[in-house]
């Protein structure tokens, strides 16, 4: 292609039925396949999930023009992604506090965050980091309008609702399991989760028929509760 002046791509692959008894390609192997494209900065990362016999690989050119990150895991590379507006986080390994700091810094204009992760966070690691760094920063998502935590461990619901850990934007749509929400908020009495809950203007709760009066008290600005 002698007339090709610019080569921009984003390739996301999902591989099923993997045989983990053989040597599978590493991220270094993938990078070597692009050794002849010296004029381009190409980023890649790969995740393997032995229990599911599956893997995911994402390859893209920089600077990235992506608006959507799909099934992002802990292998998320460092960088600045100003064009990204929507992220779907998914991993079998826990997302620790520092991971959410990286996400907030890498995607400063993030609007939609959807997460799937049933693995609990490592509290010992969090406490050690908190001692080492004196006080970890409060994570800020100033442009976030949708937060979907329906398929997550309770640790992540607490991570986002605890105002000593995360500062949510006003007018946010929260999607969450009712029983998990009840647990994390101490049956809707906990002060540390009250501030971020007061910023929710739309609340979607699932898995239980509930009366909404106590929810209205704890989510005073939520005009739509369903």
List the alpha helices (DSSP H) in 33-134.
97-106, 123-132
Supply the angle between the helices 97-106 and 123-132 in degrees, to the nearest 10: 70
Mean pLDDT (the chain, rounded)? 87
pLDDT band at 133 (very low <50, low <70, confident <90, very high): very low
Per the confidence metrics, is the pTM higher than 0.85?
no
Average pLDDT of 26-48?
86
Strand order in the sheet with 68-72: 68-72, 86-90, 112-117, 146-152, 172-177, 200-206, 224-225
Average pLDDT of 73-90?
90
């Amino acid at each position: 292609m002698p007339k090709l002046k610019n080569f921009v791509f984003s390739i996301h692959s999902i591989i099923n039925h993997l045989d983990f008894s053989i040597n599978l390609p590493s991220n270094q192997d993938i990078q070597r396949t692009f050794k002849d494209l010296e004029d381009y900065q190409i980023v890649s990362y790969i995740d393997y999930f032995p229990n599911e016999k599956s893997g995911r690989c994402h390859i893209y050119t920089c600077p990235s023009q992506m608006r959507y990150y799909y099934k992002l895991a802990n292998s998320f590379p460092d960088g600045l992604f100003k064009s990204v507006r929507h992220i779907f986080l998914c991993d079998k390994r826990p997302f620790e506090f520092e991971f959410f700091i990286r996400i907030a810094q890498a995607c400063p204009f993030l609007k939609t965050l959807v997460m799937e992760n049933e693995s609990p966070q490592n509290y010992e690691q969090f406490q050690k980091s908190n001692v080492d760094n004196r006080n970890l920063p409060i994570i800020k998502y100033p442009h976030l309008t949708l937060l979907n935590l329906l398929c997550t461990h309770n640790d992540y619901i607490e991570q986002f609702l605890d105002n000593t850990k995360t500062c949510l934007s006003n007018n946010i749509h929260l999607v969450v399991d009712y029983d998990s929400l009840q647990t994390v908020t101490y049956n809707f009495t906990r002060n540390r989760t009250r501030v971020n809950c007061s910023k929710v203007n739309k609340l979607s709760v699932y898995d239980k028929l509930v009366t909404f009066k106590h929810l209205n008290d704890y989510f005073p600005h939520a005009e739509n509760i369903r």
